Homo-oligomer: A and B are copies of this chain.
Amino acid sequence: MAEQDITADFLERLLSGEDDALAEERLAELHPSSLGPLLGDLSSDQIRRLIDLLFARHRAAPLLADLPPELLPEILEAVRDTRLAEILARLEIDDMLLLVEHLAEDRRESVQQALPAPLRSELRHAELYPPDSAGRAMVTHFIALRQEMTAQEAIEAIRQEGETGDSALHLYVVDEAKHLLGVVPIRKLVSVPPETSVGTLMVPESISISSEADQEEAARLVARYDLLALPVTDPDDRMVGIITVDDVIDVITEEATEDIYHLAGLSEADRVFTAARVSISKRLPWMIVNLGTAFTAAFVVGLFESTLDQLVSLAVFLPVVAGIGGNGGIQALTVITRSIALGEIEFSSGLRAVGKELWVGLVVGTAAGILSGFIAYLWQGNPVLGVVLLLAMIITMAVASLLGAAIPLLLKALGQDPAVGAGVLVTFFTDALGFFSFLGIATLLLEKLI
């Protein structure tokens, strides 16, 4: 079992200031991640006191590094510059960057000035990597061995790492120019005579990633090759850091959230406990885009007002055409965007996937059309109406599936995020075309309909 989670009430009592020694002790027993969900309810004063108490026990840095990023701006606001600099100095460079990114613009300079000079320059250097790149996600702290070293010397290198720890699982062998040659599994080190050379223990390693590459690509490599850490190289192919598997898990989780969010037109910053005003400001622009789409569909319906005037019962079937088309489009879109995210598809095999989705859409659309047409006929007693609905649904589903599959692939080929905006584009065309085909066919067959 995981340790018992702390309650909000208990935390507030601890932070009342009545017994700081006890509070410090109790807080030190908790894993930082138990505290995360409770921070949203605390006042600035309480947050500052909490960070101070945790800091005394070396717990503040891991807490801040582990928080969901959307909570950071508010929490960081409550922490003084000097305290924050002390916390940053205890973090790995990737976490340091994350915190600085979430700091209010006007505080970044003063917090960085409060850092020791070497760290400040390391941070400046890391900030040169593009956002979401492997360079930003890496830690620069790893054990580099040379082939000529003995097992004993390698063990000495691990010992020098001391408690900083986990990175000692990954022993890399580099040449003079810092090019990566291979890895030494730590379990091999322990079971050989001390004078064995590192070169003979080394497993040649070819998998690494450029510091400029997207962190998502790094996550894919780690997942694909079951790595515990992925070496990162600079443009001259020198090894400059590693991306560890725990950070990869965060990347995968965050990217999945992004994909799910983008399909619904949500911003990543709009999370469950984000302040309502922030959520509103993020959702309004999207709502306006959707209004544009909806009014275009309304305009298409408006083109056929005289047809509707002559047979008003056509209006009742508009939700059916739009609903089924929209559903089909979103399904094709979801299958394709997910396969892109998982790296299962390239543009060439994309054509095959589009063909498949079109075929599936046609079959499902025909089946749904026959059923709907039959219901429409029974309901309205009009067989021609049933045929109109059948034809409109086949056309709508075919186009919806085609666009749902093709639009994310086109967005990707254009270098865009395939999930952003794809949903609204698909809905836009599907609704407009669904109404146009349904009311258009009805207009053509109007004499037989009434």
Contact = CB atoms under 8 A, between A and B. Distances in A.
Interface of A: 1-3, 31, 33, 37, 66, 68, 155, 158-159, 161, 165-166, 168-169, 185-187, 189-191, 206-210, 221-226, 228, 245-246, 248-250, 252-253, 256-257, 259-261, 263-266, 270-273, 276, 279-280, 283-284, 286-288, 290-291, 293-295, 297-299, 301-302, 305, 308-309, 312-313, 315-320, 322-324, 326-328, 330-331, 333-336, 338-339, 342, 344-345, 349, 352-353, 356, 359-360, 363-364, 367-368, 371-372, 375, 379, 427, 431, 435
A388 B273 CA distance: 33
Nearest to A337: B260
Given A31-B225, A288-B371, A323 B431 contact: yes
Contact of A276 (B260, B288, B359): B359
A268 to B, nearest CB: 10
A169 to B, nearest CB: 6
A186 B171 CA distance: 13
Contact of A272 (B261, B299, B336): B336
B155 A169 contact: no
Contacts of A375: 291, 295
Given A37-B344, A266-B331, A318 B320 contact: no
B323 A368 contact: no
Given A222-B249, A353-B273, A319 B338 contact: no
A1 B427 CA distance: 39
Nearest to A143: B187
Contacts of A225: 31, 33
Q: Provide the main secondary structure of the chain A interface.
A: helix
B287 A327 contact: yes
Contacts of A309: 312
A374 to B, nearest CB: 11
Contacts of A191: 155, 158-159
Given A33-B224, A298-B317, A372-B291, A3 B187 contact: no
Given A190-B158, A272-B353, A276-B360, A323 B305 contact: no
Contacts of A327: 265, 286-287, 290
Contacts of A427: 323
B187 A187 contact: no
A155 B190 contact: yes
Contact of A319 (B186, B207, B294): B294
A287 B245 contact: no
A255 to B, nearest CB: 8
A333 B339 CA distance: 23
Contacts of A317: 298
Contacts of A264: 263, 330-331, 333-334
A276 B356 contact: yes
